[in-house]
Structure 1
């Protein structure tokens, strides 16, 4: 390979790398809410806003990727006793597993919305999941992303089978990326 071709190839790789880096966004705000039914009704709660990075361009979905972390230690339901119990080794075991993590491997258009497939890790359990989401570009160039999905808490060793607490947890995740 001649020197000119090597330099040309290097410049193309550098431009491609720079272009892909320019698309990486940070999560600048958001919320993580959940609800689970139990014998006395529904328990609603929150985690702190998600953190991480995202690459998203509605015109080029194949390049989309998400690397999101939610602090399991930030679990709140408004009941201090329950919150303390949920952070124990019986449930989230936050002293050993302080974060919930999602890393995408594929994102696709799904009708008017999108879906992303990746690995969701809670405690020491990692599973492949597909999460539906909406993306709306705002006037300031940011994207508002939102995903509502359900997970089975038992799949991730969050407690044990219990007639007082349902297994399915509904999660509502919102993020603004810039």
Structure 2
């Protein structure tokens, strides 16, 4: 038996094939967002004997979030912080923190976090990634909250979280002899942050 119009048959077969391909490979909902630092903050808090607590924030940072609400595993975050931009109410201490005694901003001008895995949890989200601080890379993991919002400026994400790191894990040691047990400068640094990132 011969087909009367083989071209139509081929065309229909191709259309059916494309239809089923699209069903099995739905379009990605991945969206890229750019962090707006004017509406965000990144803070660092450490115990310092002379003043109690050293509360500082970074004035210069940037980053991107790739977010897919249907497939969180495709989501990621990249943040880059300029160490020279740290600032508090104690300019003299800021100078010490930026110096080679602590962050050594001249040698290590950036703190970088690049996520490797994002998962949804009952309370929000959890991210794992590599933190590059003081020239040392270590894996960290922490929870965070995230909301999708709409404004006159466009769609944006608002994310917030907090985590602790031990500065000595990154060889941030202010004095080889006196820096024992975190008596003068606490070993633990709390990083508190909240960011807004707008759809690109």
**What is the TM-score when the length of structure 1 is the normalising length?**
0.83
How many residues are aligned here?
A: 165
Show structure 1 runs of 5+ residues with no match. Answer: none
Q: Which residue of 1 aligns with 2:68?
A: 57
The answer (yes or no) to whether the contact 2:33–2:157 under 8 Å persists in 1 is: no
Q: Which residue of 2 aligns with 1:42?
A: 53
Task: Select which of 119, 133, 140 maps to 1:108.
Answer: 119
Cα-to-partner distance string for 1:13-67 (whole Å, 9 max, x where unaligned): xxx9x957x6121112311112112224111111125311110133321111111
Cα-to-partner distance string for 1:76-104 (whole Å, 9 max, x where unaligned): 12212111111111111111111100001
- Equivalent residue of 2:150, what SS? coil
Q: Which residue of 2 aligns with 1:153?
A: 167
Task: Select which of 94, 97, 101 maps to 2:108.
Answer: 97
126-135 vs 153-162, which deviates more? 153-162
Q: Which residue of 1 aligns with 2:8?
A: none
The answer (yes or no) to whether the contact 1:32–1:49 under 8 Å persists in 2 is: no
29-38 vs 156-165, which deviates more? 156-165
**What is the TM-score when the length of structure 2 is the normalising length?**
0.75
Q: Give the aligned CA root-mean-square deviation in angstroms.
A: 2.3
Computing the radius of gyration over CA atoms, which structure comes out larger, 1 or 2? Answer: 2
- Equivalent residue of 1:138, what SS? strand
